[in-house]
Amino acid sequence: MRASRSNIATATSFTLFIALLAIAARTYFARDILGVQSSPYRAFWIEFPRGSIQFTSRTSTRSEDHRTGWKILPPSNPTGVQTVLGFGLFHNPRLFIRDPSGTRWIGMTLLVMPLWPWVALAALLPAAWIRQKAKRHRRPYACPNCGYDLRATLGRCPECGEIAAS
């Protein structure tokens, strides 16, 4: 039962790894934006600018400021945030905006994270599984250190000098 759960977790992690690689590649060709309005004056977006993921939370004094749904735009870099190693945070609870319809305020929080840490994290479990399988299928007559065939050699491994197990 434990091996079955481990295999399911590994398969899920591998699927997530492939999906994140596909998303990371797509960010260089298109910018996907998914917006959800949680109340008349608050909305959340998940965006995929070039090589990263951006979470945006915004409040506004006008409900029509929030466009929800899925949009595909040309690729671009993360907006409005200075990043360090791809990580960035911007928070301003009261940003004043003037436009033809008048002056209003919005509150905005942006969190930008690169996709590479998520891809690396999703690859850990499949990599450990592959390593475990490779160790398990090692030949009994091979050197435990370098894998050299020890059938014709007694004592030490001629390749690395490891003492052969008897």
Count of structural domains, the chain:
1
41 domain residue, yes or no: yes
Q: What percent of the chain has pLDDT over 90?
A: 19
42 domain residue, yes or no: yes
85 domain residue, yes or no: yes
pLDDT at 2: 64
70 domain residue, yes or no: yes
Q: Measured between alpha carbons, how far is 52 from 26 in angstroms, rounded to an integer?
A: 11
- Beta carbons of 7 and 32 less than 8 angstroms apart: no
Q: Which helix (H) or strand (E) holds 4?
A: helix 2-26
Segments forming the whole domain that contains residue 34:
28-114
Q: Which helix (H) or strand (E) holds 72?
A: strand 69-73
Mean pLDDT of 107-117: 88
Mean pLDDT of 51-59: 87
153 domain residue, yes or no: no
pTM for the structure as a whole = 0.66
pLDDT at 144 over 80: no
